[in-house]
């Protein structure tokens, strides 16, 4: 029998009121406790790397519990299954056990923590027109997919990091976990340097329009060139077609607000009005804008050949470059939602996804806890109806019966590479210290 996911024709609707009844089954049968421990223990490559890790739980009625810690996988698993948290947050590895922070004479301080990134769809509200509020569709997911791919490339190529886990937050965001040894041991200053290097835009308000501005400068940095290689091929599709961002007067005002020079802004505004390109169709507006700018920045010396020579690229970056909550990245004490949590608002699983094919990931079809439990029951019922069904059912892990399967596979592949690297490093250290 194949390990396929069996689904009823009708997907059950998620009901938050029965989440407390579903979580015990989810944590017992579906939460990947062993891989989860393998991740956060890092092969026990350092003293107390797991035992001193802080976990926090959000329980029913928003009861918040901090400073949980565990010596073993079984301790963690038993506590999760007995407590059934609505949300699990992961904190830093401390210099002492977090649960003893009130009784120890040593002040509790973080000693290591994954370098984390938080990208939220709310930060794109000024440039997305397809959805509002907490709603996310395939069109606005393209902002998230592009941001993850671009950041992943920057972290690997500019900083040399290799072990990066990307996770859908369960509603409208993305979390990135950089798990390399050097990343985990960055101090606050080092984290701030990485975050600020990756944050290239600043918000400004011009005539009531709030926009993200980017200033490239005289020489284009290699990281900006790389970013544009990701952004330029998708700009028309995302900005002009999907969002039709410049399709009304407000959108055109946003375009104008991205021009930092007052006189140049007025010139562009007059040209767009003259050519009837002042807010009817985004493609027409953008084509007219590019034509006008190119005619000026290739001419005689002027502000267009000095300060504004990269204005087209700056606008593309301002709209599509990743918008980070850099305070999440800068601090070691920030707790971040764990992978494989259930988002209490949507019921969806916070599943890892493959960044290389992020555009193919569909947040609208991420399974809810209701759907997962239905899929298990449907699979088991079909197994029972066949010869030796009970024996076959016992051989198949529960997550393989559900829509969680792909997310767990991504997580396992991430772990395989991480553990291989840890093993290689341990061998290298052993070889260096071996006495002959």
At 400, give phi and psi (nearest 5°): -75, -10
- 297 Cβ contact partners less than 8 Å away, ≥ 6 residues apart: 304, 305, 308, 309, 311
Query: What burial letters (b/e) apply to 216-245, b meaning 16+ CB within 10 Å?
Result: beeeeeebbeebbebbeebbeebbbebbbb
Task: Transcribe 351-395 into DSSP letters.
Answer: -B--GGGGGG--GGGSPBHHHHHHHHHHHHHHHHTSTTHHHHHHH
Residue 90 DSSP SS3:
strand
- 394 Cβ contact partners less than 8 Å away, ≥ 6 residues apart: none
Catalytic one of 118, 278, 375, 398: 118
Catalytic one of 54, 89, 152, 242: 54
Active site residue 61: no
Catalytic one of 120, 152, 325, 375: 120
Active site residue 54: yes
Structure tokens at 342: 């259930």
Of 165, 287, 147, the closest CA to residue 227 belongs to: 147
Structure tokens at 171: 């509603």
Active site residue 118: yes
Distance of alpha carbon 171 from alpha carbon 293, whole angstroms: 39
Structure tokens at 427: 């061998």
Longest distance between any two alpha carbons in the chain, whole Å:
83
Report residue 320 CA to chain centroid gap.
Answer: 15
- Which helix (H) or strand (E) element contains residue 67? strand 64-68
Structure tokens at 7: 């689904």
Beta bridge partners of 213: 202
- Do 246 and 286 contact (CB within 8 A), yes or no? yes
Distance of alpha carbon 318 from alpha carbon 302, whole angstroms: 23
Distance of alpha carbon 267 from alpha carbon 272, whole angstroms: 9
Catalytic residues: 54, 118, 120
């Amino acid at each position: 029998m194949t390990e396929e996911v069996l689904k009823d024709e009708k997907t059950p609707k998620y009901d938050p009121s029965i989440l407390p009844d579903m979580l015990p089954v989810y944590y017992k049968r579906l939460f990947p406790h062993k891989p989860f421990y393998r991740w956060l223990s890092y092969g026990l490559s350092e003293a107390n790397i797991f035992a001193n890790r802080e976990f926090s739980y959000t329980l029913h009625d928003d009861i918040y519990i901090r400073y949980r810690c565990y010596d073993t996988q079984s301790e963690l698993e038993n506590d999760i299954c007995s407590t059934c948290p609505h949300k699990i947050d992961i904190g830093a590895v401390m210099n002492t056990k977090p649960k003893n922070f009130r009784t120890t004479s040593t002040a509790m301080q973080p000693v290591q923590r994954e370098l984390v990134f938080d990208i939220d769809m709310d930060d794109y509200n000024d440039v997305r027109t397809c959805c509002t509020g907490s709603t996310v569709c395939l069109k606005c997911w393209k902002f998230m997919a592009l941001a993850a791919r671009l950041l992943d490339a920057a972290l690997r190529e500019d900083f040399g990091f290799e072990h990066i886990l990307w996770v859908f937050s369960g509603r409208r965001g993305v979390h990135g976990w950089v798990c390399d040894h050097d990343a985990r041991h960055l101090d606050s200053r080092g984290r701030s340097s990485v975050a600020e290097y990756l944050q290239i835009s600043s918000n400004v308000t011009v005539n009531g329009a709030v926009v993200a501005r980017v200033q490239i400068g005289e020489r284009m940095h290699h990281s900006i060139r790389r970013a544009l290689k990701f952004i330029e091929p998708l700009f028309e599709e995302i900005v002009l077609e999907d969002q039709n961002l410049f399709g009304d007067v407000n959108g055109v005002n946003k375009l104008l607000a991205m021009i930092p020079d007052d006189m140049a802004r007025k010139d562009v505004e007059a040209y767009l009005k003259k050519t009837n390109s002042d807010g009817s169709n985004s493609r027409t507006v953008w084509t007219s804008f590019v034509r006008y700018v190119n005619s000026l920045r290739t001419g005689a010396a002027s502000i267009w050949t000095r300060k504004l020579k990269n204005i087209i690229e700056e606008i593309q970056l301002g709209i599509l470059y990743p918008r980070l909550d850099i305070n999440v990245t800068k601090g070691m004490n920030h707790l971040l939602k764990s992978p494989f949590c259930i988002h209490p608002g949507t019921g969806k699983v916070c599943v890892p996804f493959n960044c290389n094919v992020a555009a193919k990931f569909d947040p609208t079809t991420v399974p809810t806890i209701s759907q997962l439990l239905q899929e298990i029951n449907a699979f088991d019922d079909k197994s029972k109806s066949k010869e030796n069904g009970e024996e076959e059912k016992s051989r198949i892990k529960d997550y393989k019966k559900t829509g969680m399967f792909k997310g767990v596979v991504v997580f396992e592949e991430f772990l395989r590479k991480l553990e291989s690297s840890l093993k290689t490093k341990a061998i290298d250290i052993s070889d260096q210290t071996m006495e002959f």
